[in-house]
Structure 1
C-alpha cells in the first residue's frame, strides 16, 4: 500500500495524488481539482435539502478563480473563456482564420448594436429597428 499523501495546493486548485497502483496504470501521478469546483460540487449536493447552505457554498466558490487543468481561466461577461492573447504564434493557420473571423463577427455585431441604439430614438426608423432586433435575437446563441 502506498503512503498517505496530503494534497498540495495553490490558491486556485488542489493537486490530488493517485495511489501508486493507479499511477502506474495511468501513467499520471495525480489530478488537479479546482477549489471553486469543490465548493460548487458541495452546493449541488445539498441544493435540494438545504438551499441556504447551497447559496452560502456558491458565494464561497465565487471567491476562488476559475481553473482549467491547473491554469487560471479568464472569462468574459457571458461566461465564455477568453483566449490567451499571447498564443498567436502557436495557432495553426486554420485556428488563426477562425479566431479572426470570430473577432470580426463580434466587432460587426457590436457596431450594429451601437447603430441600433442610436436609431431607436428616431420615430421613422423604430419599426425597422424593432424588426432587426427581433431577427438578431432569433439567431443569437
Structure 2
C-alpha cells in the first residue's frame, strides 16, 4: 500500500458502479457492463450494497447484504469480494474485509458470512488463516 490515504466508501451512483465494473468483472467474468448494471440495480433494491477500497483508484470491492435467519440471526453476507489482480498481496483485501467487519458490528450483526468457490484454495487460506473465518458448512445449488 502506498503512503497516501487509503479509504473505503459505499458506491451509490451509476457512474461509481461503472468505475467499479473492471474490478468486479475479474471476479464475475460472466457479466458484461449492461448485465452488471441491470442486476446491480435490482440487487440494490433488495439491500445489496457495494463498497470500494480506494488507493487513488478502486483497488478492491465488497458487495454485501444485511440478512436475518435462524442460524446467524442478524448477519452480513458478502456476495462479492475481489481485489484487482494487479494489486493483490498488498493488504487491500484484509483492509476492506476489516472495514466490513467493523461496519457489520456497528449495524448489530452477529456474524459476517461468505461463500467461496471450491477451487479457490488461496482465498480459503486467506479467509481461514489470516481473517479467522470458520469453515462451517457446505453450500449447494441446483440449476433449474
The TM-score normalised by the length of structure 2 is 0.21
Higher helix share: 1
The TM-score normalised by the length of structure 1 is 0.21
Higher strand share: 2
Which structure has the larger Rg over C-alpha atoms? 1
